[in-house]
Amino acid sequence: MMEYKHIHQRFGRREILSDVSIQLKPGELLLLSGENGAGKSTLLRVMAGLLKPDAGELIDETGRRLISRSRKLLLEQVMYLHQTPYLFEGSVRKNLQYAQQKEAEEKRLQVDQALEWVGLSHLASENAKTLSGGERQRVALARALLRRPRYLLLDEPTAHLDAESNAQIAQLLGELKLRTVSMLIASHEPGHLDRLVDVEYRLDRGHLTNKLKR
């Protein structure tokens, strides 16, 4: 379990996050909704250790500490997936190999399994830069599978995708949930994820409100 307490984040005079607290549990999928500009991406970046908050605490099985002093821990255990996943120049296979620190043979086998899992084996040799939006998201999820994070934060993973791609992403997220990965998904169009969501939060004017248990 990972618990974030009393997060505050201000940019200039604007308070983006005001006393935000949220808890991540194994196998639980949380939905974070809110208008564009509400601060959803900012919160995810703080939780992933990519942005230093003005204040906030982190609590896990090892104890309590300031979030600002926990960057190494967060980068090791939490994976953040941007709305537009960054892919390196080169093939889809090479993009997945970058996520691995295994010996060559073991790396090849696990990459093959990840490609099969996301249904992209037939595109393994294609230039990753030529992929569609839905295919890029599936490569990002394959990288997440290879890195095996305990906590996965996804920023608008189905934005601007067609219905078929949305369904494919939702299926993969459901399978990660069964693997007890804890997930927080920020989305302002969450309808297609309804069946997966355990708890819904709404970020409004810096405050986390309307906690709903499904």
Q: Is residue 151 part of a domain?
A: yes
Q: Is residue 109 part of a domain?
A: no
Residue 82 sits in a domain of what CATH number?
A: 3.40.50.300
CA dihedral 81, 82, 83, 86 (to 10 degrees): -100
Residue 73 belongs to domain spanning: 2-87+134-213
Are 82 and 155 a contacting pair, CB within 8 Å? yes
Whole-prediction pTM: 0.91
203: which strand partners?
A: 208
Distance separating alpha carbons of residues 201 and 214, to the nearest angstrom: 11
pLDDT in tens for each of the 214 residues of the chain? 999 999 999 999 999 999 999 999 999 999 999 888 899 999 999 999 999 999 999 999 989 999 999 999 999 999 999 988 989 999 999 999 887 765 567 778 899 999 999 999 999 999 999 999 999 999 999 999 898 889 999 999 988 888 899 899 999 999 999 999 999 999 877 677 888 999 999 999 899 987 666 5
Are 172 and 145 a contacting pair, CB within 8 Å? no
Helix or strand (DSSP H, E) at 64: strand 63-66
Distance separating alpha carbons of residues 85 and 27, to the nearest angstrom: 23
Q: Is residue 119 part of a domain?
A: no
Token pair 């500490």 is at which residue? Answer: 65
The pLDDT, as a whole number, for residue 162 is: 87
Number of domains in the chain: 1
Q: Is residue 129 part of a domain?
A: no
Tokens encoding 111: 């990459």
The pLDDT, as a whole number, for residue 103 is: 57
Find the radius of gyration of the CA atoms of the chain: 17
Q: Is residue 181 part of a domain?
A: yes
Q: Is residue 63 part of a domain?
A: yes
Non-local CB neighbours of 71 within 8 Å, separated by 6+ positions: 49, 52
Closest CA to 167 of 201, 196, 128: 196
Q: Is residue 122 part of a domain?
A: no
Terminal-to-terminal C-alpha distance of the chain: 20
